[in-house]
């Protein structure tokens, strides 16, 4: 190794000690999505800015009200259905926004834009299949119930899923 290479390595080490990234909770929260590309396989369910946690909760309440889950299995299916629906909406929004902003550059020489569009479409198709599979599972589970039961106050007291509790499905990690 040459002397200049050793000096460069030492300089890099000294500089690395000066820049260790954000240290405060506010700074860490601000940069936590820096590497995010499309968010379709992200750990976080709701992204500040383009998405609103209140909208997610509203969607969740709407599905809980519509399906009225009574058992833990039904609750889990409806929760997964809510998360999948939310991510499917994100994929559709991403695709629309991407097409609007890149309509004149779709066929770039390197093909990056088409690959990005393909990636979004792939995630959207997977989410769409999962959405319909979960919907069919919920319908089958409901059909298995022996007799219809009037909803009780208890059926609405089930704890709602919070975005921080929602973990990505293994298929999308």
9 found inside a domain = no
pTM for the whole structure: 0.60
21 found inside a domain = no
User: What is the predicted pLDDT for the residue at 66?
Assistant: 96
24 found inside a domain = no
Q: What is the tens place of the pLDDT at every residue in 104-113?
A: 776 777 777 7
57 found inside a domain = yes
99 found inside a domain = yes
Domain count of the chain? 1
Output the average pLDDT for the chain.
77
145 found inside a domain = yes
- Domain range for residue 103? 47-172
User: What is the predicted pLDDT for the residue at 13?
Assistant: 80
Q: What is the tens place of the pLDDT at every residue in 35-69?
A: 444 455 555 677 666 778 889 999 999 999 999 99
17 found inside a domain = no
Secondary structure (H, E, C), the chain: CCHHHHHHHHHHHHHHHHCCCCCCHHHHHHHCCCCCCCCCCCCCCCCECCECHHHHHHHHHHHHHHHCCCCHHHHHHHHHHHHHHHHHHHHHHHHHHHHHHHHHHCCCCCCHHHHHHHHHHHHHHHHHHHHHHHHHHHHHHHHHCCCCCCCCHHHHCCCCCCCCCCCCCHHHC
pLDDT lower than 70: segments of the chain: 1-4, 19-22, 27-44, 47-49, 106, 146-173
């Amino acid at each position: 190794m040459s002397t200049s290479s050793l000096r460069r390595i030492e300089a890099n080490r000294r500089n690395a000690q000066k820049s260790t990234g954000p240290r405060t909770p506010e700074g860490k929260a601000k940069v936590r999505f820096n590497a995010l590309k499309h968010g379709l396989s992200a750990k976080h369910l709701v992204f500040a800015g383009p998405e609103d946690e209140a909208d997610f909760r509203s969607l969740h309440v709407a599905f809980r009200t519509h399906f009225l889950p009574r058992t833990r299995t039904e609750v889990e299916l409806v929760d997964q259905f809510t998360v999948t629906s939310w991510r499917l909406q994100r994929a559709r929004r991403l695709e629309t926004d991407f097409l609007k902003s890149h309509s004149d550059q779709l066929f770039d020489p390197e093909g990056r834009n088409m690959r990005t569009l393909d990636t979004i479409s792939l995630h959207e198709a997977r989410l769409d299949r999962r959405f319909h599979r979960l919907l069919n599972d919920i319908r089958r589970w409901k059909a298995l119930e022996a007799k219809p039961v009037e909803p009780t106050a208890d059926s609405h007291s089930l704890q709602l899923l919070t975005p921080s509790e929602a973990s990505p499905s293994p298929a999308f990690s």
